[in-house]
Structure 1
Amino acid sequence: MAVVTAHIESAGYRGRPDVIQDVHFEVAPGELVGLIGPNGAGKSTTIKALLGLLPEVKGEITFGDGKAHYAYIPEHPVLYEDLTLWEHLELAASAMGLKGDEFQQRAEELLTLYRLTEVRHHLTSSFSKGMQQKIMLVLGFLHKAELYIVDEPFIGLDPKAIRDFLAMLDRERERGAGVLMSTHVLDTAERICSSFLLVSDGGIVASGTLQDIREACGLPEATLFECFTALTEEE
């Protein structure tokens, strides 16, 4: 069973209800789907539709068996300036229903992985943008979800943090979690994604494996970047 299935006839905002149209896809357990497209193509609107943040949505979105948990890692850090890193973790754990040893073990593991142990009791407003982005990764992975929705995760991360993030994604996929990841870093996406959704002008112009994308644009040996350019310029 897919961890998420989306059949979106249209979705958008008040006054603009059809920013995206006919967006249909699913993410299977263990799959990493790259959501690719130029600025303004509809990637963020698609993600907001999945998260239930849009006032106008026609269609159906189903998460697994209806009880599946998902985690969202946004492009820009969303933090409370008067809370420490540890207080953010405690707040998130309370919302997720994580308690006691389970929370403590997972939090310690993630703080160690992203080298944030020594600053756990510091206010997050004092952190650099890169450190704040690491906090969003820690919060996103605090609860082991069935689906991770990740928006432009590489912005602000140093190479070691990117490596650790990708390794974490691999471990989560191995246990059966699915990932939907929006990114402009196409060379990395080509290397790590199992399939792609290419979005342009509010709709999906191609989907599937890299080979499927190549066939859609008639370029059998092309890179993802070359396919992306060919398909979006056609629009």
Structure 2
Amino acid sequence: MAVVQASIESAGYKGRAEVIRDIHFSVGPGELVGLIGPNGAGKSTTIKALLGLLPEVKGEIVFGNGEDSEPHYAYIPEHPVLYEDLTLWEHLELAASAMGLSDEEFRERAEELLARYRLTEVRDHLTSSFSKGMQQKIMLVLGFLHRAELYIVDEPFIGLDPRAIRDFLDMLNGERKRGAGVLMSTHVLDTAEKICSSFLLLSEGSIVAQGTLEDIRGACGLPEASLFDCFAAMTEGT
């Protein structure tokens, strides 16, 4: 059973109700689906539709079996969203409270994540004093604090150093082995080609190709091409 199934006829904003059209896909347990496309293709709008942040959506989005009142997903945004007057640990406490984590579960998970991303020594510092890379690490820690069924990740590699990228990919791999699904928007196509199980290629608000790398190659008529070359061929002029 898919962790999310999306069948979106159209979605957008007031005055622009059809920014994306005919977006149909699913993410299964253990899958890492790469959401790729040029700027303005509709990637962010697709993510906002999944998160329920758009005023105009025609279609249906079902998380898990569709019976739970709350979808069990975690969202890791492209740009850090933090409170200037809270410390790192206070951010984690606030998130844990919103997620309903027990104190024991929260502390064990938080300390594990802080150690992994080498943030333990600054846990009581205000996040406003952190570099952009450190703030992005905080978003990863917040995203992984609760073991979700689905991770929605938007451009996660921006601002991360190579070691943090490796830690992030190891975390994703571990969560996938646990059975979580991942939808990841990224422009880092060489990395996406190596780690994603399938792809959604968007252009001008619609899916122009989807499936495995072999499926994408077949759709663009380039049987030996890299994901980058397929991307270039299918989005030329957009």
| d(CA) in 2 for partners of 1:233, 1:161 | 33
How far the C-alpha of 1:234 sits from its partner, in A, is: 6.2
TM-score normalised to the size of structure 1?
0.99
Q: 1:100: Cα distance to partner?
A: 1.4
Q: 5+ unaligned residues in a row in structure 2: which ranges?
A: none
State the match for 2:64 in structure 1.
64
**Alignment-derived partner of residue 120 in structure 1:** 123
Q: Which residue of 2 aligns with 1:15?
A: 15
1:47-75 Cα distance to aligned partner (Å, 9 max, x none): 00000000000000000112340000000
Which residue among 133, 136, 153 is the counterpart of 1:133? Answer: 136
Distance 1:233 1:198 in 2: 13
User: 1:124-159 CA deviation, whole Å, 9 max, x = no partner?
Assistant: 000000000000000000000000000000000000
Report what 1:163 is aligned to.
Answer: 166
State how far apart, in whole Å, the 1-side matches of 2:101 and 2:37 are. 36
DSSP-derived class of the 2:156 partner: coil
TM-score normalised by the chain length of structure 2:
0.98
Whichever residue aligns with residue 138 of structure 1, its letter is V
Determine the structure 1 residue equivalent to 2:87: 84
- Look up the match of 1:211: 214
User: Counterparts of 2:103 and 2:85 in 1: how far apart (Å)?
Assistant: 24
3-state DSSP of counterpart to 1:50: helix
Q: Secondary structure at the match of 1:78?
A: coil
Quote the sequence identity (%).
83
Q: CA RMSD in A?
A: 0.7
Give 1:35 deviation, angstroms: 0.1
**Alignment of 1:231 onto 2:229:** no
Pairing 1:104–2:107 present: yes
The 2-side partners of 1:18 and 1:69 are apart by 27
Structure 1 counterpart of 2:225 = 222
TM-aligned CA deviation for residue 107 of structure 1: 0.2
Structure 1 residue runs without a partner (length 5+) = none
Whole-Å separation in 1 of the counterparts to 2:83 and 2:229: 41
Residue in 1 that maps onto 2:179: 176
Provide the residue aligned with 2:34 in structure 1: 34
**Could you list the per-position Cα deviations for residues 131-188 of structure 1 after superposition, in whole angstroms to 9, with x for gaps in the alignment?**
0000000000000000000000000000000000000000000000000000000000
